[in-house]
Structure 1
Amino acid sequence: MMVEPMNWISEVVRPKIKTLFKRETPENLWVKCPDTGQMVFHKEVEANHWVIPGSEHHLKMSASARLKMMFDEGTWIDVALPEVATDPLKFRDEKRYVDRLKDARAKTGLQDAFKIGFGRVGGLPMTVAAQEFGFMAGSLGMAAGEAFVRGAETALEKRTPYVLFAASGGARMQEGILSLMQMPRTTVAVRRLNAARLPYIVVLTNPTTGGVTASYAMLGDVHLAEPGALICFAGPRVIEQTIREKLPDGFQRAEYLRDHGMVDQVVHRHQLKETIARICGLLMDVRPAAAAPAPASTPEAA
């Protein structure tokens, strides 16, 4: 009887490679710090409210994450926002405007660059609006303007402070004059808050520029800013090319504006909730812990 000799290579040295296909790795597994180049685990940064541990660099934060960070757990609801006409100018550049909107909505899960919530912050009823920079750079168009006004109307109806987290590249060029007219409309909404003696608090985040800076973002009763945030109308590169001079270090950053009286306080993201609750409590003459619970309803969308 013939015995087949043992292949010692296959029997003794067993292959460990089970597949020739490369295992897919999530693209966003690591986050690189823009300041130090440090690589940080994505989940660690997310759990730290998008602040890089160590360097304390403040990354951009989504509107949904902003509201979740601000409101007391289980106390807030979304404010329904009005619908507006889509692409009334039938605008097209390299791509149709309606297609850009579809892409932005798929990317962010929002209908436009604003998200507004109503609930309690430190026990104090509050209306909070956050701009979504990931939606066409948080640009101001008809939908964003209507959303801001609806947030102001909610604050007026519920007699709450109105808090805005600004993050925008400016007016949305695809809507032309319909975008620019949102600047005076939002300004009128702020004036209504002033007349009702309700606090309007603005938190300037990176970046806040263009027509947003030239309107409602700089009309607050109190202006807070996150560390290192770019806050300007025209950016530093445009200014340097225009005046042909080198700008000082830190020009148009949050700390520079604070030192020159344009920002009241630069606040670390982890301290924003406590700071805003304290300021609003003082302005409303209400201690946050003793504030009445927020109502469970919001205005219906027009």
Structure 2
Amino acid sequence: MNSSDRIELLIDPGTWYPMDEDMVSIDPIEFHSEEEPYKDRIDSYQRETGLTEAVQTGIGELNGIPIAMGVMDFQFIGGSMGSVVGEKITRLIEYATNESLPVIIVCASGGARMQEGSLSLMQMAKISSALYNYQSNKKLFYVSLLTSPTTGGVTASFGMLGDIIIAEPNATIAFAGKRVIEETLKVTVLEEQQETEYLFEKGLFDLILPRNLLKDVLSELFKLHGFFSNKNQHES
């Protein structure tokens, strides 16, 4: 499921207002180690997907409840996290902090974007710092939704920092890939050891939810944490 379909699934019709749509990567380290220059690769993915980057962020309503949401898109360079992805998510969290909105981040990523080097790795700390202020200082509510695949730097940072962490059934969730682990540690990694159901048994997250239940369950979670629909607020 791409990011636009995910927004349509969770956000009430006519209530989605995107943020930072014009923010694009500019090849900050002049990466030229592939057949296709990084800037050209970005351009081709923009044409193929209709997106400017690997995450869409914005404000909308979920069953009438105002929320801030970021949705990663694996179809855009494997949902990899570069400087723009990190900046968009950080700005979303900061906006939600100022406006006292709950946050959902839908994770779908191969990890940090190698074409931006250490600038990609910095996004892990930047987003985590924004979340610390949001969660610990402002006492607001963040839901992390792990979809397939969620790996690498996303797993190692904001993917696992949710107040509630929800995973979709049969999703691949890991830090390092199966092949990398096996070649590095000389051990056998079973396929199911990086799948939702096995990891849930080990206590890695709170809930496994199919897509058809997501919206209503999220709505109830928000109400439980003191976030209500605009309609209820106006009536009160």
Q: What range is the shorter-chain TM-score in?
A: over 0.9
Asked if the contact 2:24–2:52 (Cα under 8 Å) also holds between the matched residues in 1, the reply is: no
Whichever residue aligns with residue 133 of structure 1, its letter is: F
Q: Which residue of 2 aligns with 1:120?
A: 61
Whichever residue aligns with residue 257 of structure 1, its letter is: L
CA offsets, 1:252-298, max 9 Å, x none? 11111111111101100111111111111111x244485448xxxxx
Structure 2 distance, partners of 1:289, 1:268, is 27
CA offsets, 1:22-66, max 9 Å, x none? xxxxxxxxxxxxxxxxxxxxxxxxxxxxxxxxxxxxxxx111111
In the TM superposition, residue 77 of structure 1 has moved relative to its aligned partner by 1.6
CA offsets, 1:143-167, max 9 Å, x none? 0001101110221122110000000
Q: Which residue of 1 aligns with 2:146?
A: 204
1:188 aligns with 2:139: no
Whichever residue aligns with residue 185 of structure 2, its letter is: I
Partner of 1:127, secondary structure, is strand
2:26 to 86, 89, 92: 86
Structure 2 distance, partners of 1:291, 1:118, is 19
Aligned length: 232
Structure 2 distance, partners of 1:185, 1:291, is 35
Inter-CA distance 117–85: structure 2 relative to 1 (3 Å threshold): closer
Q: Which residue of 2 aligns with 1:225?
A: 167
Partner of 2:193, secondary structure, is coil
Inter-CA distance 274–96: structure 2 relative to 1 (3 Å threshold): same
Structure 2 distance, partners of 1:79, 1:256, is 36
Structure 2 distance, partners of 1:85, 1:226, is 30
2:16 to 68, 76, 85: 76
Q: Which residue of 1 aligns with 2:216?
A: 274
Whichever residue aligns with residue 196 of structure 2, its letter is: A
Whichever residue aligns with residue 244 of structure 1, its letter is: K
Taking the TM superposition and a 5 Å limit, the aligned residue runs for 1:1-302 are: 61-81=1-21, 83=23, 86-92=26-32, 93-194=34-135, 195-248=137-190, 250-283=192-225, 285-288=226-229, 291-292=232-233
Structure 2 distance, partners of 1:291, 1:144, is 34
Structure 1 distance, partners of 2:43, 2:227, is 43
In the TM superposition, residue 82 of structure 1 has moved relative to its aligned partner by 6.4
State the identity %. Answer: 39
Asked if the contact 1:232–1:252 (Cα under 8 Å) also holds between the matched residues in 2, the reply is: yes
Asked if the contact 2:22–2:52 (Cα under 8 Å) also holds between the matched residues in 1, the reply is: no
Partner of 1:205, secondary structure, is strand
Q: Higher helix share goes to which structure?
A: 2
Partner of 1:201, secondary structure, is strand
Structure 1 gaps of 5+ residues are 1-60, 294-302
* Backbone CA RMSD of aligned residues: 1.7
TM-score (norm 2): 0.92
Partner of 1:182, secondary structure, is helix
Structure 2 distance, partners of 1:181, 1:84, is 17
Structure 2 distance, partners of 1:290, 1:256, is 40
Structure 2 gaps of 5+ residues are none
Inter-CA distance 141–249: structure 2 relative to 1 (3 Å threshold): closer
Structure 2 distance, partners of 1:85, 1:114, is 12
CA offsets, 1:194-216, max 9 Å, x none? 12111110000000001111111
Whichever residue aligns with residue 128 of structure 1, its letter is: M
